[in-house]
Amino acid sequence: MPALFASESGRITDIRFWQSPEEAQIVVDISTAPRVSSVSRLKDGTLFFDVEQCVFRPGKQRYPLNNPFIEILTVQQKTSSMVRVFFRVPEGVEARTYVLPKNDRKGDRIVIFLREPQATQQQKRTATLSEIRKLKAENIKIVVLDPGHGGEDPGTQNNGIVEKNYVLNMGTLVKAYFDRDPRFKAILTRSGDYIIPLERRREIAEQLGADAFVSLHANYNRKKAIRGIEVYYESPKGAVGEAERLVAEMENMVDFGGAPSAIPATELVKKDIVEKQANIMFKSRQLAEKVESRLAGAVTTLPSRGTKRAGFKVLHSMAMPSILVEFGYTSNLADAGILKNYTCRTRLAQAVYLGLRDFLLGNIEEGLDTSYLSYIQAADERKKSLARAHEARKKKLEAEKKKAKKHLVKNGETLSGIASKYKTTVTRIKQLNGYSKKHVIKIGDTILIPAK
């Protein structure tokens, strides 16, 4: 019997720790999908949870972490088939645990997610906001630089480049240019090796009332010959998804009251959202073009593939123009060589700074992104015509029902038998009666028979 259990057991293969200024994560890697108990508390305040059918080879290990989020972590083989994970957090720290299923990049994991106390979060937020208000009053432009990936998510890894580290370095270099220019304040979404959810990255920029948002990345392609810089801004399709999400969100809010109006509230909200989004996208294009034209000339041996549009989640903002820069392809040997060269890196960083400066201090044109508007219109038309077709089908069915004969099901009758008796088909009978594919008729049922 024990042998049987052993083959079914999971094994803890690694324990990793990530920390940002606001939160920390402990990631426990497991060889199979774990069965985890809910978190309990010991009398002395220590928290713990159990992982069933699991083996921890070292038997017992203590990790004295002693940082603002967690004091100590202990992992212990409690019984032959159960591992208990103990942890102590300072007062006020929020702790949540998740089980993350394996995907194509990572195995099964248990994640302990720790966040600084609410009060501290609030204090920091208030302090930042009052500083930002001061900057805005002095007409200082706020730029948010977003080094992609981080922590658990390394991004692409090729030819000696790990994207998360590379873009953090690039972000720091770009910020250094802004720090020397008193007309700007640049803020990084992350300043260390930790992950930030995509929505949080743009929320940071939105909360700061940023004038521009730039996400920094390096690209990868299986075709190693592909190379060059790309500057992306929001695509109509990506924006439509976001507009729909917002409308749905507002719709739920509207449901909780409010006076009825001649035009449904969601229509007004949608029009407003679409216009705002179209205006931001119009400006994002200008920002993308300015940054691309600076980047294209920054390193003569590094070609530019121009500006492009894509539905990247991190770009779905209606608050400020947003772009995503891919500095080159790590999968291409020539690009990788250039990206690793310090002189080239400073030139690329300077180009991003200059492009943003050109945009923020230049004349930003007002207007609406017409391709987005026509995309929205086409999507609306498609929806309306689908609704019309559905309505027509319903009407036709109603008319057929009125003309239909009725049949009372008797013992031993089958749907196919009835169909052949009335010289019609099973499919037509099912359609008319609204039966599902698997529907079974019973004795005594009255069924509608299509008229010829």
| Contact stretch for Zn ion (CB under 5 A) within 121-129, 153-161, 286-294, 441-449 | 153-161
Min dist. Cβ of residue 331 to Zn ion (A): 12
Report the residue count for the chain: 452
78/200 with CB nearer Zn ion: 200
Min dist. Cβ of residue 283 to Zn ion (A): 23
Min dist. Cβ of residue 307 to Zn ion (A): 17
Min dist. Cβ of residue 165 to Zn ion (A): 12
Min dist. Cβ of residue 296 to Zn ion (A): 20
User: CA separation (Å) from 99 to 32, 35, 76, 150, 182?
Assistant: 11, 9, 19, 20, 46
| Contact stretch for Zn ion (CB under 5 A) within 60-68, 150-158, 194-202, 333-341 | 150-158
| Helix axes 342-361 and 163-179, enclosed angle (nearest 10) | 50
Min dist. Cβ of residue 148 to Zn ion (A): 4
34/148 with CB nearer Zn ion: 148
- How far apart, in whole angstroms, are the C-alpha atoms of residue 212 and residue 148? 16
Binders in 191-220 for Zn ion, by CB under 5 A? 217
| Contact stretch for Zn ion (CB under 5 A) within 30-38, 149-157, 270-278, 353-361 | 149-157
Contact residue for Zn ion among 148, 150, 228, 321 (CB under 5 A): 148
- How far apart, in whole angstroms, are the C-alpha atoms of residue 19 and residue 277? 34
Are the C-beta atoms of residues 443 and 410 closer than 8 Å to each other?
yes
| Contact stretch for Zn ion (CB under 5 A) within 22-30, 87-95, 132-140, 142-150 | 142-150
Are the C-beta atoms of residues 348 and 295 closer than 8 Å to each other?
yes
Min dist. Cβ of residue 386 to Zn ion (A): 36
320/325 with CB nearer Zn ion: 325
| Contact stretch for Zn ion (CB under 5 A) within 144-152, 252-260, 262-270, 367-375 | 144-152
| Contact stretch for Zn ion (CB under 5 A) within 66-74, 79-87, 155-163, 205-213 | 155-163
Question: Is there binding between residue 328 and Zn ion (CB under 5 A)?
Answer: no
97/304 with CB nearer Zn ion: 304
By beta carbon distance, the residue nearest Zn ion is 217
Mask of contacts with Zn ion, 230-249, x by CB under 5 A? --------------------
Are the C-beta atoms of residues 267 and 306 closer than 8 Å to each other?
no
148/328 with CB nearer Zn ion: 148
Min dist. Cβ of residue 155 to Zn ion (A): 4
Contact residue for Zn ion among 34, 147, 155, 171 (CB under 5 A): 155
Give just the sign of the alpha carbon dihedral 6, 8, 13, 19.
negative
Number of residues located near Zn ion, criterion CB under 5 A: 3
Mask of contacts with Zn ion, 271-300, x by CB under 5 A? ------------------------------
| Contact stretch for Zn ion (CB under 5 A) within 134-142, 152-160, 224-232, 388-396 | 152-160
Min dist. Cβ of residue 253 to Zn ion (A): 34
286/332 with CB nearer Zn ion: 332
Min dist. Cβ of residue 156 to Zn ion (A): 6
Min dist. Cβ of residue 153 to Zn ion (A): 9
- Tell me which residues touch Zn ion (CB under 5 A): 148, 155, 217
